[in-house]
Amino acid sequence: MDPFKRNFTLAATIACIAFFCTPLLRADSPVAVPNPVIYDLADSGVMRYNGEYYIIGNWIAGHMLSSEDLLNWGNRTHVFSMDNEWAIGAAGRDREIHACDIRYVDGVFHLYWSVNRADIVRAIGHTTNTDGPMSFYTEPVKDRPFSEKIDPHLFIDHDGTPYFYTTKFPPGLGNVIYGQPMEDPWTLVGEDVRLLTPSRRTWETQDAEVNEAQWVMRYRDWYYMLYNANHTRFPGYAIGVAAQNEGPLAFNNTHKYPEPVVAQIARKGHEITHTGQPSVIRGPNGFEWWVAYFASYDGGPRSIGIDRVLFFDRQLHVDGPTSLATATDNTYSPPPAPATLSDLFNQGTTLGDHWNIVAGDWKVHEGQARQTDGGADLGLVFARSAPARNYLVEANVKIHDDSLGPAGLVAYYEDSENWLAVGLDPLSGGWSYSKRIDGEDSSGTHPLPDSYDFHVYRNLRVEKNHDQFRVWIDERPAPGNPVVHADFEGYGLPGMVTRQSGADFDGFIYTIGWDEYDDRISGWGDAADGENRHGSWVVGRSGIASEGDVRIQRVFKGDLLHEYEFITQVTLDTPLDDREDTRMGILPVYVDAENYLAATIDASNNELVITGMKEGEILAEQRIFLPDPKPSYNLRAIKRIDATRIFVDGILKATIPGTWAPSQVGLTTENTKASFNGITHFNLRRIHGSNTGG
């Protein structure tokens, strides 16, 4: 039987979802993150769990802090003291808990740490708990260290295989980064592999031969290792990147970027130095990436700062280091953006008015939303927010032990004849979907591993990009086929759903937007006002490209939004000739044919050109010289209520004052062909709605 279908249509019809959405909070636009966000803390590991953030590191003696937004961190809670046979005496004191890494895997919180007392012991320990991120951790093995030397890091690849990374000290090579496969987070297997060694006669060896403090992530099918070089005692301690697409253990020195991505700066009479120990995490809206690291601000103790991680297609870039003190009129590095709608369920005992309860017994209990009636055929709630065509929805789901059916997300609801539900299904031992398109029903199930535990928290995320619903489970593509196709033409809303099951939900986020690359790019076409796309546009392995002979080519996409971010890499596909006004770029604002902005690269003259119209009047053209001519540029726009800002390769180049009606975005070329890849667009405004149906 279709796992979600029964009574879903009737309940959704009764809901009569029709929202007139109004902003709950207009996002402010401070010029920079207020770094440092945590004073007097270093060598930390950061974890995102159920929508919140947790940090533990040096000098806080086994304490942990938590945050809902990466900016405001609560009181310190003591979670761990060493109690083993190998770190004894001075080495076993709480203040020797250094260089931590923390991960949640299959219901277990794993904390790895270093004891870095060269006079006594240098080794890595491992401790766990199953009660919560800030519950007390105990060591499963006490008679020996987990691994050798320092700087532990656990990474889990998309196929579920874990890998463990460490820093060791082979004779004559300095500090060297190694990687090793694991059977599970408790068990190393095989031999460790030497990955990165200090690159002599480069920025990495100004004062010592050091590669350490590694962090590995995978994004857009590439692997990235952030690491530190130079000696931690010197101001030149900086963060570098190695990137490749061959596998978790394929890193070597040839993959290193030539310059650090976070290094010391001096600006406006202020200094940020000693930048180190990076951890990369998703931001609160699910689209942004942020790096947390320590630094010394104006000579003070090492403290934690955060800065935005951007991807210029596959090139990792960090907008930092930053602080309010070093911000200038030519910089703009706003704090983490909020989700369009989010709920951590940390207040009250009932769901708030931003939810529409349709079926089931829903309440808030101990910081989570709970559907308590496991015998109910259907438990269903919808988010009250702005319906959209492109968005991300995420929640963490824990199914109660006595449940028989699935629980998960309403990935899309337009009306009783068009909807999609995706969930975890303990009865079938897999994840399942049910969809209705124009009244026609279909469903599918894909198996999960035999040992899969449905009764611990699991992260479930669905990214709707045009007609593609990409499903992620525990931050990895869902096993089987992770893409559900459904050609929904209308605007939809997400929600949470159970069928014959009781379940807990936490960390719900819904953010309008999309993130696409290569042949996953979809949905570009005509504008919402009826303006037809111009020219011929083709999607392939290098993104979306203009291929026609039309002089001006344009294509549009996006929900109508007041405030948003838009970023893409644009690459010239034809050699320059003697033609003038050879341009490629973006429409950062498109309301209609008489109200728009264009930001293009004039490749013939190495200039950023800003043009547009407002209420039918042509805006004065702006031209900004680009000193580094090249075939590929990253263009980024941040549209706020009062102004639209344009960045080229991460540098703010133009601020265009003015208020615009809700807008789409577009791509454009003139007298040339170009390709666009690594395209991300997301809403910056928190929106709740009110139910006007009945």
Domain boundary pick from 488, 513, 538: 513
Say if 461 falls within a structural domain: yes
In a domain, 115, yes or no: yes
Q: pLDDT grade, residue 18 (50/70/90)?
A: very low
Structural domain harbouring 372: 340-513
How far apart are the C-alpha atoms of 9 and 293, rounded to whole Å? 48
In the numeric block, the tokens 């601000």 are attached to 297
What's the longest Cα–Cα distance across the chain? 77
pLDDT value of residue 31: 79
Query: Beta 407-415 vs 418-425: how paired, if at all?
Result: antiparallel
- Tens of pLDDT, residue by residue over 216-246, are 999 999 999 999 999 999 999 999 999 999 9
Amino acid identity for residue 44 in this structure: S
Residue tagged 């264009």 (tokens): 598
Secondary element (H or E) of residue 12: helix 8-15
Confidence band (pLDDT; 50, 70, 90) for 689? low
Residue 24 has pLDDT above 50, yes or no: no
pLDDT over 80 (residue 581): no
What own/partner pairs with CB < 8 Å and gap ≥ 24 does 587-590 have? 587/554, 587/556, 587/664, 587/665, 587/666, 587/667, 587/668, 588/637, 588/639, 588/644, 588/646, 588/665, 589/637, 589/639, 589/644, 589/660, 589/663, 589/665, 590/527, 590/556, 590/663, 590/664, 590/665, 590/666
State the average pLDDT over residues 473-501.
95
Residue 28 located in a structural domain: no
- Give the H or E element holding residue 10: helix 8-15
Do 291 and 208 fall within a single domain? yes
pLDDT at 12 over 50: no
Q: Percent helix, strand, coil in the chain (nearest 5)?
A: 5, 55, 45
Residue 2 lies in a domain: no
What is the per-residue pLDDT for 420? 97
Q: Which of 484, 513, 542 is the last residue of a domain?
A: 513
124, 148 in Cβ contact below 8 A? yes
Domain count, the chain: 3
Tokens 């988010």 belong to which residue? 383
108 is a domain residue:
yes
- Provide mean pLDDT across the span 665-686: 96
Domain contains 335? no
Structural tokens at position 125: 């320990």
Residues 6+ positions from 459 with CB-CB distance below 8 Å? 394, 396, 472, 473, 474, 475, 507
With a cut of 70, say whether residue 35 has pLDDT above it: yes
Q: Which two tokens stand for residue 166?
A: 């460490």
Residue 595 belongs to a domain: yes
Specify whether 460 is located in the same domain as 590. no
Cβ pair 551, 379 in contact under 8 A: no
The last residue of a domain, from among 513, 539, 561: 513
Q: What is the pLDDT of residue 339?
A: 98
pLDDT in tens, 646-663: 999 999 999 999 999 999
Q: What residue has token string 């699991």? A: 458
Residue 549: per-residue pLDDT: 76
My answer on whether 467 and 593 are in the same domain is no
Torsion region of 541: left, alpha or beta (phi above 0 gives left; psi -120 to 50 gives alpha)? alpha
449 and 347 fall within a common domain:
yes
CA pair distance 71, 30, nearest whole angstrom: 13
The reported pLDDT for the residue numbered 426 is: 95
Average pLDDT over residues 449-465: 97
Query: Do 400 and 407 meet the contact criterion of CB atoms below 8 Å apart?
Result: no
CATH number at residue 169: 2.115.10.20
Place of tokens 């219901």: 107
Quick one: 468 and 429 in the same domain? yes
Chain center to CA of 72: 19
* Claim to verify: residue 120 and residue 244 sit in the same structural domain: yes
From CA 505, how far away is CA 491, in angstroms rounded?
Answer: 24
Asked if residues 514 and 681 have their Cβ atoms less than 8 Å apart, the reply is yes
Same domain, 478 and 557: no
Same structural domain, 484 and 578: no
Q: What is the CATH number of the domain that holds 466?
A: 2.60.120.560
Query: Does 218 share its domain with 236?
Result: yes
Same domain, 310 and 387: no
Structure tokens at 342: 């989010």
Question: Rounded to an integer, what distance in angstroms lies between the CA atom of residue 620 and that of residue 610?
Answer: 8
Weakest mean pLDDT among 190-194, 576-580, 598-602:
576-580
**pTM attached to this predicted model:** 0.95
Residue 15: its H or E element: helix 8-15
Same domain, 431 and 302: no
The reply to whether 174 and 235 lie within a common domain is yes
Residues 348-396 pLDDT 10s: 999 999 999 999 999 999 999 999 987 778 999 999 999 999 999 999 9
pLDDT at 6 over 70: no
Domain assignment present for 253: yes
203: helix, strand or coil: helix
CA nearest neighbour of 323 among 649, 36, 679: 36
